[in-house]
Amino acid sequence: MRSPGPSAPAPRGIRGYRAGLVRRALRRVVRFTAGWASTLWRTALWAAGLPFQRTPERQAAWRVRCFQGWARALCRIGAIELEVVGPAPRGPCVLVTNHVGYADILALAAVLEAPAFVSMHEIRGLPLVGFMAHRMGTIFVDRRKKRAIPDVNAAIERALDAGRIVVLFAEGANSDGSLVRPFRPSMLEPAARIGAACAWGALRYDVLPGDPPPSQAVCWHEQPIWVHAPRFLALERIRARIEFGDGRVVARERKQLAAQLHARVTALFRPME
C-alpha cells in the first residue's frame, strides 16, 4: 500500500485525539442502529416463517436457525472475529464455560448448533441481546426467587430431551477475565441428577492496540449496562477465541461434577488483560 504524501499528514496531538473520539462515536451510532435493525429483521423473519413450520420439531429448528443467523449478523456488525479451537460439541449435552459478559452469548450462539442458554435474569433487560435471547428461548434464572429453580431445572431437562446444547455459565456471575470463579454446584443439579454428558470450553477476548483492554471493554463486571455498552460498541475490532475441550464428563453428584468441570475449564483458560 502506498504511504501518504506530504499533503496527507497523520493526525497528531489534539487533532488525533478529536479524530479518535469522532470515530468511536460513529461506531457506537452505526453499530447500535444496525444492531437494532438486524434484530427487528430477524424477529420479523422468525415470526413470518413460524406459521409454515407445522410441527414442534420444525418450529424449534426454525427458531435455532434464526437465532444463529442473528448472532452471526451481530458479530459482523460489531467486528467480532471468531476463532474456534477444537471440535464444537453437539447435543444433547451441557456445555460449561467461563463467563465475562453478553459477548459470550453472541460468540457461542454464532458457532454452536441448537444452543439453549441458561442466563441470569438481568440479561433479559439488555438492549438487543436480551430481546432476541428471550424470543429465541433462553432460560433465564432469577436467583432472588428460589421457588423458580424447579421450573428452571425442568426447562433444562426439556432442552436436553429435545437434543439441544444447554449452555451453562456455572460461575453464576460475570468475571473480570482474570480467572475462572468457582462453579456453583446448584447450577449443575439437573445435569448431575439425570447423568447428562457435559462438555466444556473457555473464552478469551483480545482487542487492537489503542483500544481499552478487554477486561474493561469486553468483560461486563460490576458496571451498569449504560456505562459498559458504549465502550463495547466503540471497539474497533474484537478477537474472540473459543476453545472446546475433548471428551465429556458425567457425574451423578453435583459437587463432584462442578469440581471436574472447573478443573477442565481452568486448564483451557488464559487470563485477559
pLDDT value, residue 134: 75
Question: Nearest to residue 151, comparing CAs of 162, 160, 139?
Answer: 139
Of 198-212, 223-237, 238-252, which range is least confident?
A: 223-237
Report whether pLDDT(5) > 60. no
Q: What is the pLDDT of residue 159?
A: 87
Q: Using alpha carbons only, what angle is made at residue 104 by residues 103 and 107, rounded to the nearest 5 degrees?
A: 85
Q: How far is 95 from 170, CA to CA, in rounded Å?
A: 10
Work out the percent of the chain whose per-residue pLDDT is above 70: 89
Share of residues in the chain with pLDDT > 90 (%): 48
Give the integer Cα–Cα distance in Å for 119 and 82: 21
* Residue-level pLDDT at 148: 63
**Assign residue 49 a region: left if phi > 0, alpha if psi is -120 to 50, beta otherwise?**
alpha
The interaxial angle of helices 56-77 and 103-111, nearest 10 deg, is 120
- How confident is the prediction for the chain on average, in pLDDT? 86
Joined grid coordinates for residue 138: 433462553
Task: Reply yes or no on whether the pLDDT at 10 is more than 50.
Answer: no
The least confident of 76-80, 93-97, 226-230, 240-244 is 226-230
> Does the pLDDT at position 126 exceed 70?
no
Residue 127, pLDDT > 70, answer no
Residue 172: other Cβ atoms inside 10 A: 16
Residue 238, all three cell numbers: 474484537
Residues 25-60 pLDDT 10s: 999 999 999 998 998 898 889 889 989 988 888 888
Q: Using CA atoms, how far apart are residues 273 and 211, in angstroms rounded to an integer?
A: 12
Chain length of the chain: 273
**The sheet that has 198-207: what strands, in order across it?**
80-85, 238-244, 198-207, 93-97, 165-168, 115-120, 139-141
- Looking at 125-129, 217-221, 238-242, 265-269, which range is the least confident one? 125-129
Q: Would you state the cell numbers that stand for residue 239, as one nine-digit string? A: 478477537
Task: Tell me the average pLDDT across 145-173.
Answer: 83
Question: Which region among 13-17, 51-55, 152-156 has the lowest average model confidence (pLDDT)?
Answer: 13-17
Pairing of strands 165-168, 115-120: parallel
* Region 230-238 average pLDDT: 93
Q: How confident is the model at residue 9 (pLDDT cuts 50, 70, 90)?
A: very low
12 confidence band (pLDDT: 50, 70, 90): low
**Residue 162's pLDDT is what?**
85
Sequence-ordered list of residues with C-beta below 8 angstroms from that of 173, at least 6 positions apart, any chain: 99, 120, 181
Could you tell me whether strands 139-141 and 238-244 are parallel, antiparallel, or unpaired per DSSP bridges? unpaired
